[in-house]
A and B are shown apart, each in its own frame.
Chain A
Amino acid sequence: MNDTEPAIRTRQLTRHFGEVTAVDDLNLEVPRQIIQGFLGPNGSGKSTTIRMLCGLLHPDAGDVVVLGQHLPERAEALKQHIGYMTQRFSLYEDLTCLENLRFMADIYSLPRPKARRRIDELLTRHDLHELAHRYAATLSGGQKQRLSLAAATLHEPELLFLDEPTSAVDPQSRRDFWETLFELCEQGTTLLVSTHYMDEAERCHRLAILDRGRLVANGSPRQLERGITAHVIRIECEVPHAVRSRLQQQAGILSVTQLGLGLRVLIEQRIDNPLAHIENGLSDLAGSCQIEHTHPNLEDVFVATTRLKDGNPSP
């Protein structure tokens, strides 16, 4: 296998479920040894894409090459080299942590001595030694997630898929979890993580934003922020509620978000002078407001790309 080749490459990948187009003409390249994020609202096609990339779903059209293997034909050959952490906890709840890991080691045909070593390493890394003989059903959300990750990485996969891995986990566990993901990445694993948390998206090396099955943006978080196709304006005022309802009726406004006493406003790029546009819209209210340009963040990018009906996806 050629290591300079991307870990994942899709061309015009499409999948329908009845009338609904879950994934629409998706072209994606994921280089090796990075954390690639998938950001998108529910139903944007994140899970469907991941399932097609693992060979679990057949695409209706398009090409998929994962780790040099063409899918879906070579799906079975791929299984030994990928790991998959499902959205739901999918290990056996009536087995203990250790029994689950031993079972998975056998399923991946790890030789016994190696299996023992790997299981011991992973119990240490994920701080699971004390829980080794507890039934999986009795674990907390964060503990289950660590166990799932340990099971998914037992056979040292080159490519690891994580489908919304942190949906049932507290913030501290999430931070620890991401530390582990970075460690894995440094050791040479390519990771694909789907999420709908901005702080997680922020951490990815590259981030693909999906909206209704289409790829609307892809790049590093900084690139995406620089390439935003909207003006970001911050308004400080005494009556944010009134200002907000006034702005929402105005043309060219993509979104208005209240943050404490401030408002964050996204304005379409075709408006040449956004500050004047807002002042005009507010008329009598404008006097009491402080209106200024501000730096776009990832959430702005997400809103701008998923709100624009005919938006041009940034590179």
Chain B
Amino acid sequence: MNSLIRLLAIMHKEVRQLRRDRLTLGMIVGIPLLQITLFGFAINTDVRYLTAGVANQSASQLARWLVADAEASQVIRIVRQVDTPEQLENLIRRGDIAVGLFIPEDFTRRLQDPEHRPAAQLLIDGSDPLILAAARQLSAMETLHRIEAPRKLQTPTFAIRPYFNPERRSALYIVPGLMGVILTMTMVLFTAVSIVRERERGNLELLINTPVRKAELMVGKITPYILIGLVQISLILGLGVFVFHIPVNGRLEDVYLAALCFIGANLTMGLVISTLAKNQFQAMQTTFFFFLPSILLSGFMFPFDGMPTAARWIAEGLPLTHFVRLMRGILLRGAGIGELASEIMALGLFSVVMLSLAVRRFRKTLD
């Protein structure tokens, strides 16, 4: 009974302080808004209109067609006309163009070349793999069908059907993972900082002199943040659905159940960090130490299947990996929570381990 009173007292106090902390309140709403706007609108892996330069040494009609077709493909946008391939190289090195199209003098003759040597050349800025991948589309361009008129039509080996995202929209791919990224950042940071701040301001020295137990203190401090996490999830999901037309193919209650488990995992992680950090600055540094691998290895930014085995093992230990899978599963593929039970279990296990670690490490003494 006393234990419950103390727990409620700490929660009540925490909520009161939060209501008065305008910066944190702003961050609760501001971080999701900013991130979803940035990721949703600005980030697009479907690259188009690369800046391009052309060095056309051939005066033929065919060469002009080639240039016109390349531009019509929307892959490139021609911004410079030069005379030599060396000039194209210079422009690429300076970053003025991403793609250079070089058409040699003997272009028309090369087209009929019996040895099938390439007729023209694409110079591509390979320092960005996405540009490289996009520009390669040009090499598959069927521009020359006009010349090789009676060309034999090949039957394609595969017909590709992109399930769940037929229009290949980046937002569809990014927003579900972004929910996890935002929660990782805010949940871990808020809990870690809120406890470390009490230590810094001396409040903890007072509290550890009272009958309050450490479990009451920890649970009381993190419970209000569960609510905040749910608010953030709703905000991102709402924006995702109404602005970016993210489908909710699975059940909404499954989304929230998964979110609850994920919030729990992050809050316990924040507790562990709070027992390691001596001040708010250290708490932030440690949070970023956890945040960066989460973003990079979770499959949010780069596909999980491309990672070496060691990186995959680390990724399995990060809550974000499991949450990204859960959200893509429930939202896009319409999977039920039962089909993703192993991910939920991983999150549960993580929370239990971190909570016991935090309670063990937290001391009611100053040793």
Contacts and interface: CB of A to CB of B under 8 A. Distances in A.
Interface of A: 51, 54-58, 72, 75-76, 79-80, 82, 84, 86, 88-95, 99, 103-104, 106-109, 151
Given A56-B208, A94-B17, A51 B366 contact: yes
A58 B365 contact: yes
B365 A90 contact: no
A86 B13 CA distance: 20
A107 B207 contact: yes
B210 A106 contact: no
A294 to B, nearest CB: 43
A109 B4 CA distance: 10
B34 to A, nearest CB: 26
18 contacts: A55-B365, A56-B365, A58-B367, A72-B365, A79-B209, A80-B211, A90-B201, A90-B202, A90-B203, A91-B206, A92-B13, A94-B17, A95-B13, A106-B8, A106-B9, A107-B10, A107-B212, A109-B2
A123 B255 CA distance: 50
Q: Is the interface of B mostly helix, strand, loop or mixed?
A: helix
B205 interface: yes
Nearest to A105: B9
B206 A106 contact: no
B20 interface: yes
Given A76-B211, A107-B6, A109-B6, A57 B205 contact: no
A77 to B, nearest CB: 9
A95 B2 contact: no
B7 to A, nearest CB: 10
A76 B210 CA distance: 8
B208 to A, nearest CB: 7
Give the one of A54, A56, A91 with max B CB within 10 A: A56
Contact of B206 (A84, A93, A99): A84
Contacts of B9: 103, 106-107
A103 B13 contact: yes
A93 B211 contact: no
A107 B201 contact: no
Given A84-B209, A88-B202, A107-B210, A57 B5 contact: no
Query: What 9 A-B pairs have minimum CB-CB distances, sorted nearest first?
Result: A106-B9, A90-B202, A90-B206, A109-B2, A84-B209, A88-B202, A79-B211, A107-B210, A56-B366
B16 interface: yes
Nearest to A135: B20
Nearest to A91: B206
A95 B17 contact: yes
Contact of B16 (A72, A95, A107): A95
B282 to A, nearest CB: 20
A221 to B, nearest CB: 29
B212 to A, nearest CB: 5
B128 interface: no
A92 B5 contact: no
A82 B20 contact: no
B115 interface: no
Interface in B1-59: 2, 5-6, 8-10, 12-13, 16-17, 20-21
A253 to B, nearest CB: 41
A67 B13 CA distance: 31
A118 to B, nearest CB: 15
Contacts of B365: 55-58, 72, 75
B209 A91 contact: no
Nearest to B207: A107
A109 B211 contact: yes
Interface in B204-220: 205-212
A106 B206 CA distance: 14
Nearest to A54: B209
A25 B209 CA distance: 25
Nearest to B203: A90
Nearest to B365: A56
A57 B366 CA distance: 6
Given A56-B366, A95-B17, A107-B207, 20 more contacts: A56-B205, A56-B208, A57-B366, A57-B367, A82-B209, A84-B209, A88-B202, A88-B205, A90-B203, A90-B205, A92-B13, A92-B203, A94-B17, A94-B21, A95-B16, A103-B9, A106-B8, A106-B12, A107-B10, A107-B210
A145 B330 CA distance: 56
A94 B209 CA distance: 21
A56 to B, nearest CB: 5
A96 B130 CA distance: 56
A191 to B, nearest CB: 15
B207 to A, nearest CB: 7
A297 to B, nearest CB: 34
A165 to B, nearest CB: 14
Nearest to B209: A84
Give the one of A76, A89, A94 with max B CB within 10 A: A94
Nearest to B204: A90
A158 B16 CA distance: 31
Nearest to A106: B9
Contacts of A72: 365
B136 to A, nearest CB: 58
B5 A106 contact: yes
A106 B6 contact: yes
A84 B16 CA distance: 24
Contacts of B207: 107
A93 B202 contact: no
Nearest to B366: A56
A86 B367 contact: no
B343 to A, nearest CB: 39
A164 to B, nearest CB: 13
B99 to A, nearest CB: 57
A236 B202 CA distance: 49
A51 B208 CA distance: 11
Contact of A79 (B2, B202, B210): B210
